Amino acid sequence: MNTIAAAANLVRRQPASGAWLALAAVYLIWGSTYLGIRIALDGYPPFLMGCLRFLAAGGLFYGFLRWRGRPAPTRAQWRNAMVLGVLMVLLGNGLVNFAEQTVSTGLSAIAIASMPLWAGMFSAFRGRHPSRLEWLGLGLGFAGVVWLNLGSAMSASVPGMIALLAAPVAWAFGSVWSRDRDLPDPFMTSATQMLCGGVMMGVLGLALGERMHALPSMESTLAVVYLALFGSIVAYSAYAWLLHHVRPALATSYAYVNPPIAVLLGAVTLGERVDSHMVGAMLVILAGVLIITRAKARAA
C-alpha cells in the first residue's frame, strides 16, 4: 500500500508525470490480464472469479483510503458508482471473463480493441468530438489490431461472441458517462465501483448456477490474486484517474496496446511464435497511439 500512496502523491504533484505513469500501468498490467484471466478460469467460474477479484481489491483499497482520511462517498456518489459497477465491472469485465471460456484470443483482442471507437462515438454524442487527428489514430490502432490477429484461430461460441460485442460497448459508455458526474476522487471512485461491481458479479454468478465444486489449483488462485492487486487496484485506479485528467481517446488507447503485450507475453511464457506480420502490426498500433498522444498535446 505504500507504493500506491507514493504513486498517488506523485500524480497529485506532477500531473504530466502522473499521466505517463497511469498510461504505463494500464498498458502493461492490463496487457497481462488476458493471460491471468485464462489461468484463473482453470479453477474458478467466470463471474464468481470476478466477484472474488473485485470484492477483495475494492475492499482493500476502500479500507486503505478511509484509513488515510479520505471522506466516505455520499449517497449520490454511491448511486453513480453502482451505475459504473454495472457498466464497467459487471458488463465490461465480467463478460470478458465469460467469453474467454470459449472464444479464441485473437477474436477477443479484436473485439476489445473496438472500445476506443465506441468511446469516440459516445463522446461525440455528448459534444466532445474527437479531432481528426484522434480519429486517424483510433482507426490506425484498430487496423493494427486486426492485422495482428490475421491468421489467428477465430473460433467462438455464439454466447461468447455476443458477450464480446457487448463488453467494449458497456465499458466505453461507462467511461464517457463517468465524466462530469458526481463522483468522489478518482481513487475512491475506483474502490467504490469495484465493490459495487463485485457484489453484482457474485449475485449474477450464483443466479446462473456457478459453484465451486473443487479446490482451485494454486496457479489459478495466484492468478486471481494478481488480477486483484495489480489488474484491479493499480491499473483500474490508474484508468479512473486518466478518465478525469486526459481526453477519452488517450485514456482508452490501452485497448490497442494490450493485444501486442498479450502476444509478447504468450511468446515469452508459452513459447508462442512471433512472426514478421506481428511485428509490423505492433508498429502500426504504436503509430496510432503516438498520433492520439500528439492530438492530446495539441488539444492541451
Report the chain (300 residues): mean pLDDT per 10 consecutive residues. 48 59 88 87 95 96 94 95 95 92 69 76 76 82 74 64 86 88 90 96 95 90 95 87 78 79 74 68 76 66
Q: How far separated are the first and last CA of the chain, in Å rounded?
A: 32
Q: What is the pLDDT of residue 165?
A: 81
C-alpha to C-alpha distance for 225 and 52, rounded to whole angstroms: 9
Q: Give pLDDT, residue 101.
A: 87
Residue found under cell 478511509: 66
- Per-residue pLDDT at 271: 67
| Contacts of residue 297, Cβ cutoff 8 Å, sequence gap at least 6 | none
Q: What is the dihedral of CA 231, 189, 15, 176, to 10 degrees?
A: 90
Q: Is the dihedral of CA 166, 184, 123, 149 positive or negative?
A: negative
- Cβ 40 vs Cβ 220: under 8 Å: yes
Distance CA(264)–CA(278), nearest Å, equals: 10
**Dihedral sign (CA 125, 81, 96, 147):** positive
Grid cell 466532445 is found at 128
Q: pLDDT value at position 182?
A: 92
Cell 479500507 -> residue: 63
pLDDT value of position 69: 92
Distance of alpha carbon 112 from alpha carbon 115, whole angstroms: 6
pTM, two decimals, is 0.80
The grid cell for 93 is 469485465
